[in-house]
């Protein structure tokens, strides 16, 4: 749960920073749209963690899982959640690229700046 929450809050803080520093109205609008998407996906991820197994104790206690009838989410849901994290990460990295490409800088500095932003994806 804390993993999903920390990733979601980190993405929110990056998007709020983008919203503050972008001067183009279309870039601000795009960051707001992505912010809403990240909030919805974050709520979904936290909800899936809270309902990982019913009863929740069966998620970490195998004795409960073997004694009672327990429902746990299939592994495909967890792979889907990881895909959602990755997709929002890629969108957040690509969001400032058009703004950076429009800067009036020498080509070498522009390439260095783009490289610096993409380095954060690693």
Domain ranges of the chain: 2-94
φ, ψ for residue 87, nearest 5 deg: -65, -45
The string of pLDDT tens digits covering residues 29-53 is 999 999 999 999 999 988 888 887 7
Give residue 63's pLDDT band: very low, low, confident or very high (50, 70, 90). Answer: confident
Share of the chain above pLDDT 70, in %: 97
The predicted model gives 19-27 an average pLDDT of 90
pLDDT, position 34: 95
Residue 3 banded pLDDT, cuts 50, 70, 90: confident
């Amino acid at each position: 749960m804390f993993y999903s929450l920390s990733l979601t809050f980190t993405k929110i803080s990056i998007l709020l920073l983008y919203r503050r520093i972008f001067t183009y109205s279309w870039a601000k609008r795009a960051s707001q749209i992505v912010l809403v998407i990240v909030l919805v996906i974050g709520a979904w991820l936290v909800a899936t963690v809270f309902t990982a197994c019913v009863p929740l104790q069966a998620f970490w206690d195998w004795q409960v899982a073997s004694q009672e009838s327990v429902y746990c989410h299939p592994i495909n849901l967890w792979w889907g959640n990881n895909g959602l994290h990755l997709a929002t990460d890629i969108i957040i990295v690509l969001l400032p690229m058009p703004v950076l490409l429009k800067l009036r800088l020498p080509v070498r500095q522009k390439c260095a700046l783009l490289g610096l932003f993409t380095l954060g994806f690693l």
